[in-house]
Structure 1
């Protein structure tokens, strides 16, 4: 037996290939005699495609094929609802698939000998549009005479949820202080380093095989099989190295169209691979973003600091299609009340369709937007009551056995009070006469003033609200007298977070062999069972439990002289339930992670520039399987959340066209913009059902970041901002130096 490996910072198994440039990403794959595919995008926010003339393109030397809507067997797809055409245009097999609903809708595919020919041919395709009225904002979408984007979504409402808990009127009657505010959060682009790309071909077993980046191989397989009208076993999806995801690869981009192109070439007797690589602009207009939210909240508390009531309305901009808007909104519906016990709650939420780039999964999955409003209200209430913000939060944190507004208690292992206290103490808060006292105010220099803010949040681990949740793993043990090799089979996507290294580490620890004896076969639908997605901070939790189960079963067979020993295991966590449509009652999640951020900022009152000087991020990860990877996840979330808070704002114009369609226009943090110092505090309060006690961590540090920044800015300059990013212009507007809109 080797020393225990769990809890040690082992080197990632992919690190050498990545730092030396040998790692193969989807755009790096080429096969002999391959062709190239170019997409013709709509570039119109709302229109009917009357006709497509591809004759000049098809006549061009080197063009093999042009595909349009009539060539798609089933021309509607979608992760939560089949509402988006694979290709928009006449001849589709479903009603209204001749409509484009945002600029990134896809019209035609050109398959040619090389990229240059495909690009030139795509420019020769003539599309006749009948433009329709554009619905560019949720306000326009909700007007009484607004055009309806979908016949089954009256009022352009894609979905809605309610929570009714306690007596909201009595709750506000009992309040001595009431704070009412409107909050706005921006759309955000994922900006993963690797744009959408892939290679597809029909293999020797007549399977349409797609090498691509995604977050759930088996869901990609299902979406492709559905659209191409193929049995599942005739579609194979393989993930190689993936250059980031953050939720941005949870929905389809190039998966279906690559498979379609390979299949149609094969049917025409042309057995050649098809490759595509999107430009950054195509990526910016072609995949979903973080939902922008409009949130109205009203919160009440007694003079001694106890919360009495919360009323909230959330309107999410779904964009052109459903994507995961319903699931994202459900998360926000729960998390708008924060990790606190509030005896009276009324929440109404809806997602509304517009003619903008669709919005969907992004790190935090609705949580950061809701946490922003929830924590801003907590900070404002604390100020109005004359209480320290840490004191106020700790007085109201939810405890074991207390109910969330959905009428059920969170699973055991609640640690939010521990997390807040640890973060606060590291930031300089301390107790005097039994009360929490903030650190001494930082002195400013001339035009630069300083402030500190604190915020907290929680986030579910795993799928919610009754969504089927399970995870498959397989283990094979080889050798005669001693174990010579262990093979781990798992479909979980490693999108850069180090998941595959963690899988190997857990298997080696359970079986008791050195790391070098463990190999992994990962993210291939032909060789692995369904793992579920790399999302919802679930991969460590779900895969860890599955791999432990498979490893223990295989090891038992080995000890019983079964050589080689092979076992599979499907982990199923405790069941969750959907929300009651009238009350919201449910068991929403089986596990949570808890986080708190304390942030120090400096603000130049002349230029409006905000700098983040220090971040203290406290996260309960349950058990740090690999502490170095946990730290990397936390620090990555801090930088991404800093961009969300200060720089990033994905914008459309009044006609629904994308303004920020390049990285020259859409600003993301550079080395000069990241926090000067980040202090990572890893708390290990074991999750009772997590693998070796582990929770998820990928999204948790992100949750409370923006409200902590805005609280720090308020501490520095005395102005409350209810929206972000906190650009220089926005800061100066709040200070009265600039007029709004200038």
Structure 2
């Protein structure tokens, strides 16, 4: 059996299906205590006094820890702007809370019930501070400043302390004013996207203990073992070697475990008490207590000539970072490119910034700025097509990236660009055809004189509701790997055992499998390079002691980076094997080509290693009486370079589509004055089986990426990205209304229909 290209069963399939797989919440140790984290409960306040005496005296309590107990009271993935515990006795930064789920105390007790009861006895005297929840308001003069103190690790030079703007970018190429002067049509729009809860199956949980060698081991769910280890060690003031991080089975992540939740608290509790310590968050704690997808506001103005050349694009971008930085700067970097789409535009000006508010922090979520940016870009392209009376596929293909295209950052698109191929394949499968002149048009529409105005296509369904049907298309790119100069590497080793033939191959690589099947792919790629049966490959992936860092399971990078690292290690091991070394061992650290950050004024950069490409066609039904949108069919065409495991690729496409339809149509994380309203899955609705499309068609293209292992690209994020604008275009095709704000809930669609009816009545 060939290793790569076969849909081999996942290495963890049997354990997960039978329930034998151990997740962090399933693990227990003799003599373990239980941890309860006390949330602030207020969105913005200065801490005047804290009294934990009653909690310490409560039955079963072993310790109550406060800010003064944290050796280095700061942490953060990109910058250390967040206190481990807010309170007195450590740093000025820790003396205020900025978010309702800021941690103010840790209670360690013999049982979960005792820890929870004692946590309710912690008394904090707060001085309320003004709350700001709108990023536009947070930028105005006189707005309350959330971070008036310096904090360590700000990586972008001096941060102004009198502003809530965390970071800003600017891309300028050509002359937008001259570009708009050339344009025959100009379209403008303001687009708003919203926060999204990850809703992974396994809420935050973990267990920490002191090993016999004196090191602290933290068992948890995460996306990057060595980064978790670094932040834990920093907060405890210990060398990194004193911390071991282990990931058992992980019940989903989608970016939601890139930033820490319970890890430092567990390590601190076990370090201070000498006991093993466990925690399991409730679903309510999870929803309130971890970051969300970034809300964005885009103000866009695009211009095109009559022959369909996009000549200018100007976009103003604001994202809500929430109370702390998390990955906001990196998400903004991606959105700053994505809001221009995969199009060659000679004149561009993008000005973007991310802003602190008292909302839940925003962070990594599948697509990482791509869904928000492409929503604005693709809606603009569809509006341009309507204004020109041109088919949206035809307009896209006249402007789309191809090999050799110059990006807005003045660098060349990496080789292997397949944006046109995925778009053409999606169009064909979605009902578009080329005429004898090679121009694209929908087969179910007249090819000439159709114009932007079309009557409704209505019918009576079984419920006697009037239904309008429509179809829309969108295309996207997604960066593979860390971007904009972030250091990038992945380590692996391969050890070969046997006599005349390889009888066993052990692969060490600690890249996280968060449910996407990474470990299965590790096995397949190693077997392919070694030329052996995959059954002979054993994986060592358990903890941070196994191998040096693999980097994060994020940025669509794990297959790409780990595959290159495993390939390099396997080739070195084979070389030793052929030299009669038994066992033979090869070690390799893969470092891809470097990227560069945006230049301050122009945005000039080589921003990304490479890209993946996806195009989608959505077919919808809109109930004209209720505004309910049903996606009846969704075609998703994805260039994955090479499908290591085709069934897993199809699963990633289907899962991304389902998750993106949730974001597009129904999921709405609501906060009021800095407090979470939708704090349960009964009020924060995610798609069920009846909410996903009746037909999802995952289509795999394989245009090898020259930099990828065996040609593979990372692909798990890109099927999420074009879904919202494809549905937005389909809704417009059905009812003739552009709706520029997500989600497309029945109320919002119904209101747009009513506004359209009122406007028609007046005219």
Same fold (TM over 0.5): yes
Match of 1:42 among 40, 47, 62: 40
SS in 1 for 2:245: strand
SS in 2 for 1:587: coil
> Partner residue of 2:378?
375
Q: Distance in 1 between matches of 2:343 and 2:610?
A: 16
Match of 2:531 among 495, 512, 524: 512
CA deviation vs aligned residue, 1:356-394 (integer Å, no higher than 9, x gap): 100011111101000000000000000000000100101
CA deviation vs aligned residue, 1:678-712 (integer Å, no higher than 9, x gap): 00110000001100000010111111110000100
Residue 318, structure 1, aligned to residue 318, structure 2 = no
Could you list the structure 1 runs, at least 4 aligned residues long, displaced by more than 6 angstroms after superposition. Answer: 737-740
SS in 1 for 2:92: coil
Match of 2:218 among 207, 210, 215: 210
Residue 278, structure 1, aligned to residue 281, structure 2 = yes
SS in 2 for 1:372: helix
Q: Distance in 1 between matches of 2:591 and 2:108?
A: 43
SS in 2 for 1:484: strand
Q: Distance in 2 between matches of 1:115 and 1:44?
A: 24
> Partner residue of 2:600?
581
Match of 2:416 among 413, 427, 433: 413
> Partner residue of 1:109?
106
TM-score by length of 1: 0.97
Which is worse superposed, 136-145 or 354-363? Answer: 136-145
CA deviation vs aligned residue, 1:506-548 (integer Å, no higher than 9, x gap): 1112112222211111141111110000000000100000001
Which is worse superposed, 394-403 or 168-177? Answer: 394-403
> Partner residue of 1:290?
293
> Partner residue of 1:730?
748
> Partner residue of 1:474?
493
Residue 74, structure 1, aligned to residue 72, structure 2 = yes
Shift in Å, 1:24: 0.6
Q: Distance in 2 between matches of 1:168 and 1:704?
A: 26
Q: Distance in 2 between matches of 1:739 and 1:445?
A: 19
Q: How many residues align?
A: 731
Q: Tell me if structure 2 keeps the 8 A contact 1:315–1:352.
A: yes
> Partner residue of 1:707?
725
Give the gaps of 5 or more residues in structure 2.
Answer: 149-159, 446-455, 461-465, 759-763
Q: Distance in 1 between matches of 2:214 and 2:549?
A: 21
> Partner residue of 2:393?
390
Q: Distance in 1 between matches of 2:734 and 2:542?
A: 48
Check 1:182–1:737 CA distance in 2 against 1; reply closer, same or farther (3 A cut). Answer: closer
Superposition pairs of residues 659-698 of structure 1, within 5 angstroms: 659-698=677-716
> Partner residue of 2:195?
187
> Partner residue of 1:486?
505
Shift in Å, 1:725: 0.7
Residue 141, structure 1, aligned to residue 138, structure 2 = yes
Q: Distance in 2 between matches of 1:140 and 1:388?
A: 39
Q: Distance in 2 between matches of 1:381 and 1:293?
A: 22
> Partner residue of 2:257?
249
TM-score by length of 2: 0.95
CA deviation vs aligned residue, 1:6-38 (integer Å, no higher than 9, x gap): 111111010000000000111111011111000
Which is worse superposed, 135-144 or 30-39? Answer: 135-144
Superposition pairs of residues 320-339 of structure 1, within 5 angstroms: 320-339=323-342
Shift in Å, 1:676: 0.7
Q: Tell me if structure 1 keeps the 8 A contact 2:737–2:756.
A: no
> Partner residue of 2:152?
none
Q: Distance in 2 between matches of 1:738 and 1:451?
A: 17
CA deviation vs aligned residue, 1:299-348 (integer Å, no higher than 9, x gap): 00000100000000000000001111000001111111110100000000
Shift in Å, 1:609: 0.6
Shift in Å, 1:480: 2.9
Residue 607, structure 1, aligned to residue 626, structure 2 = yes
Residue 658, structure 1, aligned to residue 676, structure 2 = yes
Q: Tell me if structure 1 keeps the 8 A contact 2:634–2:696.
A: yes
Shift in Å, 1:52: 1.7
RMSD over aligned Cα atoms: 1.3
Check 1:155–1:738 CA distance in 2 against 1; reply closer, same or farther (3 A cut). Answer: farther
> Partner residue of 1:269?
none
CA deviation vs aligned residue, 1:451-473 (integer Å, no higher than 9, x gap): 00000000100000111011000
Give the gaps of 5 or more residues in structure 1.
Answer: 267-271
Match of 2:115 among 91, 115, 118: 118
Superposition pairs of residues 436-455 of structure 1, within 5 angstroms: 436-440=440-444, 443-446=457-460, 447-455=466-474
Residue 721, structure 1, aligned to residue 739, structure 2 = yes
Shift in Å, 1:49: 1.6
Shift in Å, 1:566: 1.1
CA deviation vs aligned residue, 1:236-267 (integer Å, no higher than 9, x gap): 0001110000000000101111111111112x
Q: Tell me if structure 2 keeps the 8 A contact 1:477–1:483.
A: yes
Shift in Å, 1:75: 0.4
Q: Distance in 2 between matches of 1:528 and 1:128?
A: 46
> Partner residue of 2:50?
52
Q: Tell me if structure 2 keeps the 8 A contact 1:733–1:739.
A: no
Superposition pairs of residues 519-538 of structure 1, within 5 angstroms: 519-538=538-557
> Partner residue of 1:176?
184
Q: Distance in 2 between matches of 1:332 and 1:178?
A: 22
Shift in Å, 1:350: 0.3
